[in-house]
Structure 1
């Protein structure tokens, strides 16, 4: 049996590098499950490896996609048949941009019947990243001030909601006023539009000259360096992404010495976490959503895998309205 999938055979601009094709599908081995994919988002974290940013740990050809939701259609040896027909998140297995995915059963996360496919497909990358950084890496709570750039992103929206839940103050940094009202509604204390306001001066004014307790940088380059300047002495600066494609100036950060710089990789957390903690983390996030305390982005558009280049182009389009680009098998 063959089924559709998306691959890239060389590194480059994502919309040019991805290709639709077919691959053989086999019965899952011991401890594995086979799913028919229902929905997978197109995240920046899915696109960055295609550019070659992580070439040292990417074997070509590769199938992109870190998250999604699917229905179990076959189970391997030593896997409970009760999973058959259930919707789960097929994580820590194959890339999700394909019609069928094989995944380790013990890491698969069951999805409540009441949750729609598009919400379920987004439960991993941004919610888990935001929760782990807030509660484990930074241990944020009342009295803390977090400043975060690229705040109009899915991650920024989630951090705004977590600031309300955990009681810390969020200063959200954007490059336009498009997201201001939404971020304030979700829980951000202030939004700085760098198109009209200087970042450092505004943060210092809002914090009465103290600076923020912590910062999260998803951009890198000059924008990330500017964000790091907004932290108080002893503050913690978390570098998370490289949306600009430009690395931070590590030598300059080291010379400064007044802040604690931490590099967060969800992959490293995955390698260290026990399966019980993994499942408990997802159960908590799912409960937040089901109880109405956390909302994720609604789809802006949904594309079949055969239109993967159009989907990637839509996801990369600057200035598009809020909403996640989704793939369906």
Structure 2
């Protein structure tokens, strides 16, 4: 019987259990995937901490991006065949050896994109795609602030922004992450634990501010990030690694220059197979053309999810973390 990482109640790493789990019965529109590689994201920690609701029955299984091989297809499935290499992103449920999903949730992998790269990029890479192309269409003339520049999403964003030609300002939490963020393409990098990032952004932009600020940190950087924006700028809050923003007020937007604010989620940009393929194809093309490279700096066996959670929460990771299921 296949195994997975399960949590029967909310909590920290102590609630994570590596155990045998049943796979759902294959429906006519479903595919059984023998998973090979699985990515790690901060939202996986939220899924088992209790920030998000648990299933009404059965355990919470975290994990939002993975790649693998089609092992069985339902009677109505035409798009995929046994042996195809596929990848996906979902809200949760990926930390398992086998998975049944609707075929429409899967994308075929290009030959030049490995399972490991796909598992590290489905959620993170498509997040960057929508942030820079859809939440706000970043162009060469724009100046952009991106928090957590040395994280999994941040490193992809730095490369993508360099390709666009925009001026980019990244923030990191330690000096050893500055070089990493600069190497991927950020024009400027600020250690927010040593410098006041608002003052630095105003200095870099000659007091004007940035066109758009992307923030996945949350409570620790709010409302300071608003002071980095130019008049009528856009604040995009797409995560909360330091905690959910609790003190947000509409008046904050007014007093910082009639700002706009958005709280997007990837799944609103990929609601159907056509949009999923469009966004993933754009991301895969950036990978295939060499404009972005995945920095997979941590690797673990799937059973070691608790160790990976510890490192992530302690901010001891850079770039992407990938779990090996034990198949190739």
TM-score (norm 2): 0.91
What do residues 239-273 of structure 1 show as CA deviations (whole Å, max 9, x unaligned)? 111111242421253553621111111233233xx
The match for 1:134 is 132
Structure 2 distance, partners of 1:237, 1:54, is 24
Q: Do the aligned partners of 2:38 and 2:65 also contact (CA within 8 Å) in 1?
A: yes
TM-score (norm 1): 0.91
Q: Compared with structure 1, are the counterparts of its residues 206 and 125 closer, same or farther at alpha carbon in structure 2 (3 Å cutoff)?
A: same
What do residues 56-85 of structure 1 show as CA deviations (whole Å, max 9, x unaligned)? x75462211110101110000111385211
**Shift in Å, 1:317:** 3.6
The match for 1:75 is 73
Within the candidate set 63, 66, 71, 1:65 is matched to: 63
Matches within 5 A, 1:1-329: 2-13=1-12, 15-55=13-53, 59=56, 61-80=59-78, 83-92=81-90, 95-251=93-249, 253-254=252-253, 256=255, 258-271=258-271, 274-305=272-303, 307-320=304-317, 322-328=319-325
Structure 1 distance, partners of 2:79, 2:317, is 43
Q: Compared with structure 1, are the counterparts of its residues 53 and 82 closer, same or farther at alpha carbon in structure 2 (3 Å cutoff)?
A: closer
Which consecutive residues of structure 1, in runs of 5 or more, have no partner in the other structure?
none
Q: Do the aligned partners of 2:150 and 2:318 also contact (CA within 8 Å) in 1?
A: no
In angstroms, what is the RMSD of aligned CA positions?
2.1
**Shift in Å, 1:99:** 0.9
Q: Give the count of matched residue pairs.
A: 323
Q: Compared with structure 1, are the counterparts of its residues 193 and 314 closer, same or farther at alpha carbon in structure 2 (3 Å cutoff)?
A: closer
Which consecutive residues of structure 2, in runs of 5 or more, have no partner in the other structure?
none
Structure 2 distance, partners of 1:51, 1:275, is 31
Query: Stretches of 4+ moved more than 6 A in 1?
Result: none
Structure 2 distance, partners of 1:62, 1:247, is 25
| Further displaced range: 246-255 or 156-165 | 246-255
Q: Do the aligned partners of 2:155 and 2:319 also contact (CA within 8 Å) in 1?
A: no
